[in-house]
Homo-oligomer: A and B are copies of this chain.
Amino acid sequence: MSYLSKLISFDNPAFCGYITYSSILVLKMMVMSILTGSQRKKHGVISSPEDAAMLKGKQIIESHPDVDRVRRAHLNDLENIPIFFLAGLGYVLTDPNPAIALNLFRMYTLARVAHTFVYAIYVVPQPARGISWGIGYAITGYMAVRTMLHFGRF
């Protein structure tokens, strides 16, 4: 039998690592909403008129660079992390070397946390953001190409 479900096992470190680091990335993306909210509150920037009442006594403005920066970092997560979820799952089903797989998941997660940090928390000059983005991009691309070639059912 060539069920792939033997790879979807508590005994497969690659699969467990995929689920663990994907959960961490979910939590990391959830932090973006908190960051956005705190920047909105700090600068008095609301997204909708009905939110004005929540910032009463504060001068309401249309936008602020700090809010926009967190929003861009969040959008960059949306562009990159859901495709990693898919590529990472496909990659686990190609039965990769577990140690390599775990290291790729670790590197990807670290790179995305670093990306948010240098983009939206403590701004570091380029190419800090470019490099952290590029590491995640390269890992996702490697996994997607490997998965596509392994399954190859066009």
Which A positions have Cβ atoms within 8 angstroms of B?
A: 1-6, 8-11, 13, 15-17, 19-20, 22-24, 26-27, 29-30, 32-33, 47-48, 50-51, 53-54, 69, 72, 74, 78-79, 82-83, 85-87, 90, 93, 102, 106, 119, 123-127, 129-130, 137, 140-141, 144-145, 147-148, 151-154
Contacts and interface: CB of A to CB of B under 8 A. Distances in A.
**Interface class of chain A by DSSP:** helix
B79 A33 contact: yes
Contacts of A129: 48, 50
Contacts of A72: 47-48
Nearest to A118: B50
A4 B8 contact: yes
Number of copies: 3
Contacts of A83: 26, 29-30, 82
B13 A8 contact: no
A-B CB proximity, top 8 nearest: A5-B5, A16-B153, A23-B148, A2-B10, A26-B144, A26-B83, A23-B144, A23-B147
A87 B20 CA distance: 10
A74 B78 CA distance: 11
Nearest to A2: B10
